Amino acid sequence: MAEIVLGVTGGIAAYKAVSLLRELAESGHQVTVVPTAAALRFVGEPTWAALSGRPVATDVWESTHEVPHVSLGQKADLVVIAPATADFLARARHGIASDLLTNVLLTARCGVLIAPAMHTEMWQHPATQANVRLLRERGVVVLNPDDGRLTGSDSGPGRLPEPSAIARMARAMLQTPDYVNRSDLVGRHIVISVGGTQEPWDDVRFMGNRSSGRQGFALARTALARGASVTAVVGHVEDDIDRIAPAGCRIVRIESAEELRSSMHDVIARESPDVVVMAAAVADFRPVRSITGKITKESLGDSDAAPDLELERTADVLAEIVTKRGSNPRPVIVGFAAETPAQGESLLDRARTKIQRKGCDYLVANDVSAGAVFGEDSTSVLVLGPNDEHLQCDSVSKDDAAHALWDAIALDR
């Protein structure tokens, strides 16, 4: 059970913080809400008190014997600000302690998670972007806002991420006990491929795989929690992507292996990432022809034979990315390998062969014999790096497996 301070500033998205408060409280955490005076014009104090089960802290002059402007930050295991206005970001960047919430921010020595929400023009203004950059350099996790409907008829980047996504990020930060000392990906941009590809056979059927996308999203979520900015190129995943994607993660949707190939090359060329992780389960084969319409029994005549399915190999996207990088030291390139070792063969042997063939810097391998790890909360992975350095992680959460990879890469600066 953690002590969380939930700061709410004066934007229209303050009403969404009510759902965030409920999620955090129902996760078993003790939440003290610190709304600004402007936030209370959108959602009243009784609502915050009723849902948190605690008094609401609103002013440095209330309960002065408890010294709230110091004690709240000192006791907190995590500070979450959602929504955060452009004005709040500016004050936080400069260390201005003009109200209780900014005082709390100065006294906190725990992780700080900020979820901005504002109109597109305000988010994209150079002053706001400079404030965000400096806060991230200090180790604050500042999420990118979503792209969507704003107030009135406006739409664009600036929408508060969904409360469930912010809550998942808060839990990810709380699960990293030494978080303040592990904001070691600040300033790094990471591109991750997630999920599985679907190769169409006709307009109804496709060839796919059992990838759930859980490990890829765990990599994205933990990287964001450690200060990185992340773009995820996402194929088929087990659930609604808007529900399970990490808050603040830029999403590029794809379906087939060829779409993934094109999107990965485009994103890498456009964003110049520091790290590229090929965590997606990319199909090795696809139908040579995709039939328009549906293949029906009637279309096959009276024969009981099944239709012919001719396959061809897909492009090796990981190998292409390595080749395109050439002799440059960046980006660091990470491959994933789902292996089924033969009898008498070790996973490490398979990983060594593959990393040599692919030419990537790191390889994360797991044994998927009998469908192991697909769709599961836990996993067992082998992280193989330069100079044959390797780490075996057995029966760990997928977040812990992700942290093991980032621990290795963070040392490779």
Query: pLDDT at residue 2 above 60?
Result: yes
Q: Are residues 113 and 221 in the same domain?
A: no
> Which residue from 107, 148, 154 is spatially nearest to 5, judged by alpha carbons?
107
Q: Are residues 178 and 193 in the same domain?
A: no
Tell me, yes or no, whether 136 and 198 share the same domain. no
> Between vectors from CA 195 to CA 192 and to CA 198, what angle results, nearest 5°?
125
Spatial separation of the C-alpha atoms in residues 319 and 312, rounded to whole Å:
18
59 has a pLDDT exceeding 80: no
Q: Both 148 and 209 in a single domain?
A: no
> Among residues 75, 181, 184, which one has the least CA distance to residue 136?
184
User: Residue 244 belongs to what domain range?
Assistant: 189-410
Q: pTM score > 0.85 for this model? A: no
Banded pLDDT at 91 (limits 50, 70, 90): very high
Is residue 209 flagged as an active site residue? yes
Q: Kindly give the interhelix angle for 163-174 and 214-225, rounded to the nearest 10 degrees.
A: 70
Query: Is residue 58 domain-shared with residue 150, that is, in the same domain?
Result: yes
Q: How many CB atoms lie within 10 A of CB 260?
A: 27
With a cut of 70, say whether residue 179 has pLDDT above it.
no
CB atoms within 10 A of CB 345: 12
Q: Final residue of a domain: which of 182, 203, 221?
A: 182
Residues 160 and 210 in one domain: no
142 & 33 share domain: yes
Q: What is the residue-averaged pLDDT of the chain?
A: 89
CATH of residue 223: 3.40.50.10300
pLDDT in tens, 284-311: 889 888 878 887 777 776 667 777 788 8
Residues 299 and 193 in one domain: yes
Q: Binning pLDDT at 50, 70 and 90, where does residue 113 land?
A: very high
pLDDT score of 238: 85
Residues 9 and 141 in one domain: yes
Tokens of 151: 């107030």
What band does 181 get if pLDDT is binned at 50, 70 and 90? low
* Whether residues 228 and 104 fall in one domain: no
Task: Give the pair of three-digit tokens for residue 260.
Answer: 């993934």
Per the structure, the count of domains in the chain is 2
> Is it the case that residue 267 has pLDDT exceeding 60?
yes
**Of 133, 154, 182, which residue constitutes the final position of a domain?**
182
Tens of pLDDT, residues 222-258: 998 888 889 999 999 988 887 788 988 999 999 999 9
CATH number of the structural domain spanning residue 79: 3.40.50.1950
pLDDT at 343 (0 to 100): 79
- Residue where one domain finishes, among candidates 182, 215, 234: 182
Query: Are 127 and 208 in the same domain?
Result: no
Give the CA distances from residue 333 to residues 38, 230, 314, 326, in Å, rounded to whole numbers and listed in that order: 46, 15, 20, 12
- φ, ψ of residue 76 to 5 degrees: the values are -75, 140
Going from the C-alpha of 84 to that of each of 81, 115, 124, 243, the distances in angstroms are 6, 6, 15, 21
Asked if 324 and 341 sit in the same domain, the reply is: yes
The pLDDT value recorded for residue 372 is 56
Considering 103, 144, 209, 366, which one is annotated as catalytic?
A: 209
Contacts of 341 (CB under 8 A, 6+ apart): 347, 349, 350, 367, 369
